[in-house]
Structures are given as C-alpha cells and as structure tokens.
Structure 1
Amino acid sequence: MMALMTHLTRASAPARVRIRPMTADDSDEVAAMRVRGWQHAYRGMIPRAYLDAMDVAAEAVKQRERLAAGDGSVVNLVAEAADGTLAGWAAYGPYRDGEVRTGDGELYALYLPPERIGQGVGRALLTEVTDRCAAAGLPRVFLWVLEQNTRARRFYEAAGFAADGTREPFEVAGTEVPEVRYVRALTG
C-alpha cells in the first residue's frame, strides 16, 4: 500500500512526499542515509572513530541481506521526494522484549538525510508508521532513542510519544551509550 503524504505541517515541507515500501534497489540510498544520519545525529554521543569508520557500501550490503532474509514482520518504508530521490527511511515491526515479540509495535529506525531535517519528512514517515500500527490493531508503539539525543526526543514527544522510565545500556565501540524507551498508545 502506498500513500501520498500531502498533509505535512511545516511551511517548509516538500509539496509531495510519497511513502512506499523499500525495495532492494533503494539499499544504496538508504545505507547512505543511515550512515550520514548516524554521523550527523550521534556526533558527540558515540565515539568519533566509530562514526568515521562507518562504510556506506558495507551498510548497503547489510540492507539488501536484511530485505532478502526478512520474514515479513519488519516493514521498511521510504519517503520519496517529488524528484524521485529518497528523503527518509523508517523500519518498524513487532516490539521485541529480548527475543520475544509482543503484541505491540516498535519503530526500529527513522533516518533522514541531514539536509531534510525540519522539512516534515520525518513526521510523514512517523505518522505512516503509527497509522499502519493502529490499523493493524496494535495497542502501542515503542521506540528506543539515545538518552543524549535531545533533538530526537523532542521530535518524538511532539508526536505524542513519552518516555516510560525504562533505560538500557547500548554499547558502541566499548562505550556505553544509554537509551531510553518511548511509548505511544494507539487505542483507547
């Protein structure tokens, strides 16, 4: 199912962003988006050597492998700008409590090229994910965000998510980078 998102809220939002399923052909652009997103958003939070060593080509291979090996439970969506370039990527599926999948949803990833931040693309992707989870009858959507990532935390809070007090360590290159869990109720 593809959706044409024309209801973006910011005046600077692109006139049209089409949300569609990710294909293997999108892997290179999605990989570049993820790597650039990490390097931009996590600067000062994750060791610089780790960020500098991130490899777009290797990430693209991983993206293709994940798509090919997927069991259908993880949905990858891309936001395509009017000019055909990718403006964002989101992945979601069942909430993972350790190795157990629960009856809730989880946003696994949401990344944009840094130059697209603040244009409404992230909001369009997040709205599509929450709408799809609600349509599937899921009661809640969870997500994890780096504790120090105040920009992302404000973004999710503005979209109705709230930190629920759960905090977990996330280790990157030998450095602990704590994450906090956010949740948004979709029903009731």
Structure 2
Amino acid sequence: MTDRLKDFIENNADGFNDLEPSQDSWNKIAARIGHSEKVRNKKLRYISIVSAACIAGIAAFIIFFGKPQNQTDNFAEIPEVLEAEAYYTSQINMKKEQVYQMAGNFPELKNEMEVDLAELDTIMVELKKDLNDNVSNSEVVEAMIQNYRMKLMILEEIKSFLETKTDDQKNTTSYEL
C-alpha cells in the first residue's frame, strides 16, 4: 500500500505544487503568530517579575531571620571553651618548658616536636573556624579538647623518652683512672 501511495504522489506531484494559499490566509497566520508572541511576552514578563520578587523575599528572610538570636560570632564567649583553653594552654606551656630544658642534647627531637605541635595548631585553627560557624556544636568543642589532649600526650611521651635517655646516660657514665 505504501508503494501505491508513493507512486500516486510521484505521478501527480505537479498537481500538488500548483496551488498557493491566498494572501488572506497568510495574513491570518501572521496575526495569530503576532498575537501568540504578545501573549508569550506578557507571560514571560509576569513570570520574571514574580521570580524576582520571590528571590528578593527569600534573601530578605535569610538576612533578617537566618541566624539564630542566641548565636554569637566569637567562640571565646563560651565559658566551657574558655576554661578548657586556659587549663590546657597552661599545662601545655608547662610541659613544653620542661621538654625544652631536657632536650638540650636532642635538637632533632625538639624540631620534630615543633612540627607535630604546629600541625595540631593548624587543626585547632580550623576547629575554631568551625566553632564560629556553629557555636552550639558540642562535637567541635570535644574535638578541640581532644586536640589539647593530643598535644599533652605528645609532650608527655617526649618527656618520658628524654627522662629514660638521661637515666641511661647517668648509668653508663665511665670512670677514668
């Protein structure tokens, strides 16, 4: 059946192409296109105005109500953090001073300790930034305390190592005749 239709169209192609639509038909088509474009432009304008108003409303809401009233911008206003920082800083400074006094003969150990403590200080800066972002986050406070404990543990281990080395040196003292 497809072949008969194809043959018919090919045989009568001249008959299909000789008629042209009237000018009135083209005018009606052009009027419809112009009218639909005007309607479409009005819809787009309305949608863009509504979208802009929604975005402005959301932005205003976020600016005025996005931050809880009890949230502060400074972690130092949290008493637990202040107490922990004061305690651990004093402990760390005391242990560090003891290690420095004992590490006179071990400059490479002293350098390694400084690198480790500097790395932990970098982590602490990041934790403080996180705490400023979310003050009520107890996990961040716990991580900060854990950081202080790690510093103390490192210093304790170094101090213990230096004490054993000092004891070994005392025991292996040779006497000359």
Q: Report the TM-score, using the length of structure 1 for normalisation.
A: 0.17
1 or 2 for the larger relative contact order (CA 8 Å, sep ≥6)? 2
Larger-gyration structure (1/2): 2
Q: Report the TM-score, using the length of structure 2 for normalisation.
A: 0.18
